[in-house]
Amino acid sequence: MKQMIVINMNIYPKTFFWKKKRMIVNVFFTCVLLLFSSCGETPESLLESTWVVDTFYYQGEDIFEEKMIINMMTFEDNNIVGIPKMNNDLKSKKDHEGSWEYKKDQQQLVIQSRNEYLNDTFNLCFKRIPNGNIKMVIQSEDVYMEAGLLSFSVNDINPLPLDCSLDKTISKPNM
């Protein structure tokens, strides 16, 4: 008597279908994750870095070379800001620190510090300069400041949040 081997063909199509379905679901979730991870920066996340101040006007007068001794400004994620050292007026470490807050609804940066120049509410925007770097621009009634982002991956930041080219409320003082 010959034995007959019976293969149940119903198993294979189901297995193939489930593998294909699982693969489609995995691809879908991967695409969703990539989409959300590649979304543009927020002003807060872009601020949380070190910036190099290269332009500083106070009451319409360029005081960058005259007053600025250390031109680094650091925004930390715990809302602490490292203030540039100006004029040797500020002696202790506390004088070079302050707090910062971004007011999303008004697109403004609030800095509270002992520094007379950087203790105010500022309009905020960002711009990309010809070499590809990013600059932060802040302006209040008395202060206009530009600072370049100290980072090596600025080309990954696109589009810019609060693009200066779209913000007509901020303008460099006429000298």
145 and 74, same structural domain? Answer: yes
Q: Does 88 share its domain with 142?
A: yes
- 96 and 123 housed in the same domain: yes
Task: Please report whether residue 2 resides in a domain.
Answer: no
pTM: 0.69
CATH of the domain at 145: 2.40.128
Q: Please spell the DSSP secondary structure of the chain, one letter per residue.
A: --------TTHHHHHHHHHHHHHHHHHHHHHHHHHHHTSPPPHHHHHSSEEEEEEEEETTEE-HHHHEEE-EEEE-TTSEEEPPEETTT--SGGGGEEEEEEETTTTEEEEEES-SSS-EEEEEEEEE-TTS-EEEEEE-SSEEEEEEE--S-GGG--SPTTBGGG-TT--PPP-
What are the pLDDT digits (tens) for 135-148? 999 999 999 999 99
Give the per-residue pLDDT at 34: 38
User: What domain range is 28 assigned to?
Assistant: 9-39
Mean model confidence pLDDT for the chain = 77
28-75 confidence digits (pLDDT tens): 444 433 334 334 578 888 899 999 999 999 999 999 888 888 899 999
- How many domains does the chain fold into? 2
